[in-house]
Structure 1
Amino acid sequence: MSLIGKIHYFRIPVISLEESVRWYTECLGFHLRRQNKELAVFELKEGPLLVLVKADTNSRGHLIIDGKPEFSVGFTCQEIHKFRQELIDQNVEVDEMVEEDGHYYFHFYDPSKNKLQVHW
């Protein structure tokens, strides 16, 4: 039996902390809990905290598989079609919506080009 109870936070590397804080608050609507020169901590409605960490320009928070980026952080959203359109309206890089057996998802990129996923 594991002594670990839950995931407390995820860290995502970002190039410009200030630009990323604006984007995650204004574009995604996340609540900024605290910030300093090196990191910013966000609270979501549920689940672990999301921590943005100022990192080197070649750092990314996703995996590379067969030379292509694959997301490592996935979010949920009941109004996924509306959310996707809101991202498009804000000029966010957004991939096509995918539907598999009534399950919808798409990928999008933050200002540091971290690949993220949202599904429902």
Structure 2
Amino acid sequence: MKKLFLERLEHMQIPVNNLAESIEWYTKNLGFTLNKKSEDLNHAFLSLPNGPMLMLWETGDDTAANFTFNEEVMPILLYHSKKIHELTHHLHSLHVNITFFQDEGFGWVLKFIDINGNMWGVIQLI
């Protein structure tokens, strides 16, 4: 019998260039809610109605929450949506860099780069 050491994903952490600006952008444009901002002002917790929290870390380092596969940038963050076409239109109106948007057969897939250089993925299953 396997021992269960982990129960669930608590939160995800991503780097941001400016914490206050990022909190405003994620809450205003993606629907997150600010849960708590640290007293030392270098990190904050955001949430959606479902799923783990998103922790933002302000850093001056040149870094982003992405990885590459066969030299293609891939998102670490992957979210579910029931309004992916509306989201895509909204992101276009904000001049967000959308790197991928198409029907993949099992659902629509959207990839975009946020204001901090982090790639996000969104899926709307069919």
Q: Provide the TM-score with structure 2 as the length reference.
A: 0.88
Q: Highest Rg: 1 or 2? A: 2
- The alpha-carbon deviation at position 64 of structure 1 amounts to 2.6
Structure 2 counterpart of 1:79, one-letter code = K
Which residue is 2:118 aligned to? 114
**Comparing both chains, which one has the higher relative contact order based on Cα–Cα distances under 8 Å and sequence gaps of 6 or more?**
1
Which residue is 2:31 aligned to? 29
Which residue is 2:44 aligned to? 40
SS at match of 1:94: strand
Q: How many residues align?
A: 120
Q: Which has the higher strand share?
A: 2
Which residue is 2:109 aligned to? 105
- The alpha-carbon deviation at position 57 of structure 1 amounts to 3.3
- Deviation beyond 4 Å, 4+ runs, structure 1: none
Q: Residues 10-69 of structure 1: CA distance to partner in whole angstroms, max 9, x if unpaired?
A: 000111111111110111110010112111101111111000111233111111334432
Structure 2 counterpart of 1:80, one-letter code = I
Instruction: Choose 88-97 or 37-46, whichever is displaced more.
Output: 88-97
Which residue is 1:83 aligned to? 87
Instruction: Choose 49-58 or 89-98, whichever is displaced more.
Output: 89-98
Q: Which runs of 5+ in 2 are unaligned?
A: none
* Percentage identity across paired residues of the two chains: 23
Which residue is 1:69 aligned to? 73
Q: Tell whether the 8 Å contact from 2:14 to 2:54 is kept in structure 1 after alignment.
A: yes
Q: Provide the TM-score with structure 1 as the length reference.
A: 0.92
Q: Which runs of 5+ in 1 are unaligned?
A: none
- 2:64 and 2:97 mapped to 1: Cα distance? 16
- The alpha-carbon deviation at position 2 of structure 1 amounts to 1.9
- 2:89 and 2:13 mapped to 1: Cα distance? 26
Q: Tell whether the 8 Å contact from 1:11 to 1:50 is kept in structure 2 after alignment.
A: yes
Question: Given the alignment of the two structures, is residue 20 of structure 1 paired with residue 37 of structure 2, yes or no?
Answer: no
- The alpha-carbon deviation at position 9 of structure 1 amounts to 0.2
